[in-house]
Amino acid sequence: MMKIKAATVTHAGDPLSIVDVQLDDPQANEVLIKIVATGVCHTDAVGRDGGTTPMPVALGHEGAGIVERVGSSVSTVKPGDHVVLSFAYCGNCSNCLAGHPGMCTHFNELNFEGANHDGSHRLHLDNGEDVSVFFGQSSFADHVVADVHNVVKVDPEVDLRLLGPLGCGIQTGAGTVLNYIHPKFGDSIVVFGTGAVGLSAIMAAKIAGVAHIIAIDIFDNRLALANELGATETINSKVVDPEQRVREIVPQGVDYSIDTTGVSSVIKTAIHVLKPAGECVLLGVGGDLTLNVMGDLLAESKKLSGVVEGDAIPQLFIPQLVDYYKRGLFPFDKLVKFYDFDQINQAFADSKSGQVLKPVVTL
């Protein structure tokens, strides 16, 4: 057991506090990692506000660091390796074995319920109280222990501080296009919301050679960046009717739409801009949605899907994204701003306001 510093929340909605926490030694299937940096994702804010995980909870789920020690059964990484931490999955259920760990039967249990695979806890306060783990990692900390399924070895030549966001938000946007949609030459995609997830989808659509990559947002500065990163057309939905403008660009409607906002009215627009047999893919955390099944979906054979973590196998997909980055094809570094660990609550605030697309907290 070792004492570490970790950013925790004890009561829903409180700011994060950096406190001393006891971290258990790695078990046979686990890895001890010294954290270098961790991305801030909207899901962290949902966890902070009590939406996912029992309190107290140590947050952080886009970690990047250096392996210090491995359990006796770990053979995929060794001390000194540079790694990115991604989501937790069991590796044994039918979906994991079919190559879809983001659809793991135990996904919510392993990522949000706060315990290890065996039901134990590896984090504890000084008074002995257990602390929930977030996404199997809790990487707003100077060290973590994670199951080997969370751990992805990456190219040591690339600045490790940049790579944490590949573990969740950027993987989600890019993977939805490259792993789930698999667009064909000449296809068209509309992306609603040009935060880190939406911009990652746009960069991936450019890699895939999509003919029309239409970005929709309410902030001109984000739309300008979307244009720089691969959007072929941009629409400010505060200024023009987005559905009408999309139909002017692609009169028959688009093949695919991606919603990253979680806003019900936006999702309905994302369905309406589809051509017959088109598919709308939901990535944003949302709430209730009222649809007319016949008018909105069935009459034109439209599909509405939810995709988690870009339907990615992190150990395969994240190194591919790093390679795209090295080749200048996936410049996600343009989204990142770095913060010191003690600025973590400012990083959350800047993420919420939209002032920064992808805050990364450095340890």
Sign of CA pseudo-dihedral 320, 279, 218, 205: positive
Cα–Cα distance list, 7 to 120, 138, 151, 184, 229 (Å)? 20, 8, 21, 43, 33
- Token look-up 């051509």 returns 275
Q: For the chain, what percent of residues have pLDDT higher than 70?
A: 100
Strand 188-192 with 130-133, pairing: unpaired
User: CA 32, CA 217: separation in Å to the nearest integer?
Assistant: 41
Class of the CATH domain delimited by 173-307: alpha beta
Query: What is the amino acid identity at position 280?
Result: C
DSSP 3-state assignment of 95? helix
What are 147-188's pLDDT values in tens digits? Answer: 999 999 999 999 999 999 999 999 999 999 999 999 999 999
Name the burial class of residue 328, with classes exposed (0-12), middle (13-18) and buried (19+) by CB atoms within 10 angstroms of its CB: exposed
What are 278-319's pLDDT values in tens digits? Answer: 999 999 988 999 999 999 999 999 999 999 999 999 999 999
Q: What is the CATH number of domain 2-167+331-362?
A: 3.90.180.10
What are 98-147's pLDDT values in tens digits? Answer: 999 999 999 999 999 999 989 999 999 999 999 999 999 999 999 999 99
Q: How far apart are the first and last CA of the chain?
A: 20
Residue 228: pLDDT over 90: yes
Residue 96's pLDDT band, with cuts at 50, 70 and 90, is very high
Residues in a beta bridge with 165: none
DSSP 355: S
User: CA 99, CA 61: separation in Å to the nearest integer?
Assistant: 21
Structure tokens at 155: 């190219």
- Token look-up 């009169």 returns 251
3-state DSSP: the chain helix, strand, coil percent, rounded to 5?
35, 25, 40
**Residue closest to 70 by CA, chosen among 6, 135, 150:** 150
Structure tokens at 210: 């999509």
The two domains 2-167+331-362 and 173-307 share their CATH topology (first three levels equal): no
Residue 198: pLDDT over 90: yes
Which residue ranges make up each domain of the chain?
A: 2-167+331-362, 173-307
User: CA 12, CA 94: separation in Å to the nearest integer?
Assistant: 35
